[in-house]
Structure 1
């Protein structure tokens, strides 16, 4: 049974997944430069370390009305068959490993007349109580509608129109569409030529600063700087970053079996799809209180043939960080902590400590050697 990791993100309140193997990096949405004669859904481009990256608006690609962007929106850089594009999403949530058997390729809606298959969906995945729509990257990037088909974006309320060969069909819906939203030929949404025209001066400055930083990173990378994708987690109210390179998956904690005669750092064992996963608490090594109020989330890591579940209070986000952005470890930190940290960085006006998890697990006395 094949199991693939998917990066999960939210868009318009729905959960979507894209194969992690095609994700190159993630960052908060910067200011975009409009591009002339680009497809309707390509709303601009950015200078990403010396390369121009086109950026796609998923709302427009899926046929919805254009919506204002927010400072909390993110851009996911996708590479598919040597082509790179950024896609704008509302929020990146986590990485999930989804088995093939949990994926339904297509849904049947019981219609007498079958409709065309979903254009941009590779399938629907069952993950606990959630249903995640999996993106077909080949179609997302390459698909172009037949020229005889005219598509009109959905309204914000979810109702929409369709048109074929210039004939509109309202499907018995009473709709009110602002004529200013549509171009003269009633085929495409008028594309704003100014990025976030309704943003405040402060918001515009932040968008512009993000674009500036992405452009400057090209000079830093000439000195062979390393890029990190980090999972931002919470332990006792403090923020930490864990390198995604060692993360196998995120999981909910359920039915923990205590292991007798083991140190306090060993929380217990959990059955993870037939694999016995040992849950460990790294708080003691970091000189933090080991008083865990609830067992809810764990990050499954694999380092040097060691597989363990790191217990965390919360998994906040996945972010992209250039090593050049790492600050030195404050001298005020306990000396026993410093060797397990790579540095610190700023995340949403808070300081996160980036863990050297490999050293912490192999040399911090957290390695699980007991046999059950």
Structure 2
């Protein structure tokens, strides 16, 4: 029996890369960083997440590029490296794919990059007409001793200011931190940002820093993929997600209800595309080739549904999700596990198994 692994793919400098999904903890928009002048360990800066200092790596350091430029549209992929969380800056999140290990080839490297050490590249696969370079997240840190020393030194230096950080707002905190002889994040990595973009960067950092740390260790966390239909945000249990894909090779199925959009050939496997928007009382729009879709598996049902956007992955404590009353006037409540805060928005957490079994989507016991 063949073995597969999930990889999250992202694009950097016209090349496509994949990183093992099992080591990914969260994905969120890039916040303002405290830059690091000492670049021996490839770390460009740090930020606070739930009061913990998180070092951030830019892959340009590993890929032989001197650019390291950051943008307001960039994301942080938070991975678990040994016992530490590490952030990786990526400009474009693409899709989650599941790969048969037997199709992974030995890695060369993109011709436009010139580097000597490619030990962090585990292999390459060909998908359609494009190569995906697979990265080993546990080998991205080339100088682990320097990284650990850097973190210890920074934490020691910032410890005396911790009380001020907790008592004052983030902008004042940042002014205090600038006294640590650290160059400007914007001067180094975001030279073309506007004042409004800087405020967004700072607001993101403030929100990440001020996430409450729950002292209860027995409260289970769930990982949710955040997707959007129009201007509404929904959370989907990441354990049910097999891949995020772009819709291709879609073929209509004759004599099926309108919510059965068609079949797709996904690397030799036929996947049915089903529209769940009617069940959720959402307006429907035409499905286009190239649009995003979520491939999911619920028990023995393997299928997909289209979405307008795939935003990020978040970790949510169960007690932060508030239940909804089934007596609500909104019929879609019965298909939701609950609601949770998501920045200034509300996240509606989907009960996908119930949508499939009770939402009238199953045709002849199959989707």
TM-score (norm 1): 0.70
Query: Given that residues 235 and 348 in structure 2 are in contact (C-alpha distance below 8 angstroms), is that contact kept between their aligned partners in structure 1?
Result: yes
Equivalent residue runs for 1:32-51 within 5 Å: 32-35=33-36, 37=38, 39-51=40-52
Q: Mark the CA change 1:206 to 1:327 in structure 2 (over 3 Å): closer, same or farther.
A: farther
**Number of positions where the alignment pairs a residue of Structure 1 with one of Structure 2:** 317
Q: What residue in structure 2 maps to residue 167 of structure 1?
A: none
Q: How far apart are residue 361 of structure 1 and its match? A: 2.0
Equivalent residue runs for 1:189-208 within 5 Å: 193-197=183-187, 198=191, 199-208=193-202
Equivalent residue runs for 1:1-372 within 5 Å: 1-35=2-36, 37=38, 39-107=40-108, 118-142=118-142, 193-197=183-187, 198=191, 199-220=193-214, 222=216, 224=219, 226=221, 228-234=223-229, 240-251=234-245, 252-256=247-251, 258=253, 260=255, 262-290=256-284, 292-294=286-288, 297-312=292-307, 314-320=308-314, 322=316, 335-341=330-336, 342-343=338-339, 353-370=348-365
Q: Mark the CA change 1:305 to 1:293 in structure 2 (over 3 Å): closer, same or farther.
A: closer
Q: Mark the CA change 1:308 to 1:212 in structure 2 (over 3 Å): closer, same or farther.
A: same
Q: How far apart are residue 292 of structure 1 and its match? A: 3.4
Equivalent residue of 2:140, what SS?
A: helix
Equivalent residue of 2:34, what SS?
A: coil
Q: How far apart are residue 288 of structure 1 and its match? A: 3.6
State the distance in 2 between where 1:31 and 1:143 align: 24
State the distance in 1 between where 2:222 and 2:186 align: 28
Query: Given that residues 44 and 56 in structure 2 are in contact (C-alpha distance below 8 angstroms), is that contact kept between their aligned partners in structure 1?
Result: yes
Equivalent residue of 1:47, what SS?
A: strand
- Structure 1 unpaired stretches of 5+: 145-190
Equivalent residue of 1:84, what SS?
A: strand
State the distance in 1 between where 2:48 and 2:74 align: 18
Q: How far apart are residue 256 of structure 1 and its match? A: 2.8
Q: Mark the CA change 1:234 to 1:127 in structure 2 (over 3 Å): closer, same or farther.
A: farther
State the distance in 2 between where 1:301 and 1:130 align: 24
Query: Given that residues 226 and 233 in structure 2 are in contact (C-alpha distance below 8 angstroms), is that contact kept between their aligned partners in structure 1?
Result: no
Q: Who wins on radius of gyration, i.e. which is larger?
A: 1
Once the two structures are superposed, residues 238-264 of structure 1 have per-residue CA deviations (whole angstroms, 9 ceiling, x without a partner) of 65443322111134342535264x544
Q: Mark the CA change 1:108 to 1:305 in structure 2 (over 3 Å): closer, same or farther.
A: closer
Q: How far apart are residue 7 of structure 1 and its match? A: 0.6
Q: What residue in structure 2 maps to residue 155 of structure 1?
A: none
Q: Which has the higher helix share?
A: 2
